[in-house]
Structure 1
Amino acid sequence: MEANHGAPFVITTDSTADLPEEFCRENGIGVLFIPYTLDGVSYDQNSVNLPITEFYAKVRAGSMPQTAQITPVQATAAFEEYLKAGKDVLHLSFSSALSGCYASCCLAAEELKERYPERKIIVIDTLCASLGEGLMVYYARQRQKSGMGIEEVAQYVEDTKGHLCHYFTVDDLMHLYRGGRVSRTAAMAGSVLNIKPVLHVDDEGRLIPLYKVQGRKRSLKELVNNMVKLSGNWDNSVVFISHGDCQQDAEYVRQMVMEKFPATKTFIVNHIGVAVGTHSGPGTVALFFLGDAR
Structure 2
Amino acid sequence: MFVLFTDTDNDMTFHLAKELGYRLISMPYSIDGEMFFPYQTNEPFDFKAFYRQLKEGVMPKTSALSPMDYIHYFEPVFQSGNDILYVHFSSKMSSTFNAMALALAELKEKYPERVCHTIDTKSIAVGSLPILKEISKLYHDGKTVEEIQAWAEEEIPHFAFYLYASDLKFFQRSGRISNFSAFFGSLLRIKPIIHMDEEDYMKSIEKQRGQLPALKRLVEIVVELQDRIEEYGVTIGHTDALESAMLVRQMLWDKLGSGLTVEIVDVNPTAGSHCGPGNLGICFHAVHR
TM over 0.5, shorter chain: yes
Deviation of the 1:268 alpha carbon? 3.2
**1:27 alignment counterpart:** 20
Return closer, same or farther for 1:239/1:179 CA change in 2, 3 Å cut-off.
same
**2:243 alignment counterpart:** 248
Identity %: 31
**2:3 alignment counterpart:** 10
Alignment of structure 1 residues 199-238 onto 2, 5 Å: 199-233=194-228, 235-238=230-233
Alignment of structure 1 residues 62-73 onto 2, 5 Å: 62-73=57-68
Distance 2:223 2:143 in 1: 31
Return closer, same or farther for 1:162/1:21 CA change in 2, 3 Å cut-off.
same
Contact 1:56/1:245 (8 A) holds in 2: yes
Contact 1:91/1:122 (8 A) holds in 2: yes
Contact 1:10/1:89 (8 A) holds in 2: yes
1:28-71, CA deviations, whole angstroms, 9 ceiling, x for partnerless residues? 21121112111332223779896222111110111110011122
1:203-259, CA deviations, whole angstroms, 9 ceiling, x for partnerless residues? 222111111011101111111111112113455542211101111111111222223
Contact 1:67/1:275 (8 A) holds in 2: yes
Q: Does 1:171 align with 2:166?
A: yes
SS of the counterpart of 1:259?
A: helix
**2:127 alignment counterpart:** 132
Contact 1:234/1:292 (8 A) holds in 2: no
Q: Does 1:40 align with 2:33?
A: yes
Distance 1:53 1:30 in 2: 27
Deviation of the 1:88 alpha carbon? 2.0
SS of the counterpart of 1:185?
A: helix
Distance 2:279 2:203 in 1: 15
Deviation of the 1:176 alpha carbon? 2.4
Alignment of structure 1 residues 36-115 onto 2, 5 Å: 36-44=29-37, 51-115=46-110
SS of the counterpart of 2:121?
A: strand
TM-score by length of structure 1 reads 0.89
RMSD over aligned CA atoms reads: 2.2
Aligned residues: 287
Stretches of structure 1 lacking an aligned partner (at least 5 in a row):
1-6
Contact 1:197/1:213 (8 A) holds in 2: yes
Distance 1:122 1:276 in 2: 24
Q: Does 1:144 align with 2:121?
A: no
Stretches of structure 2 lacking an aligned partner (at least 5 in a row):
none
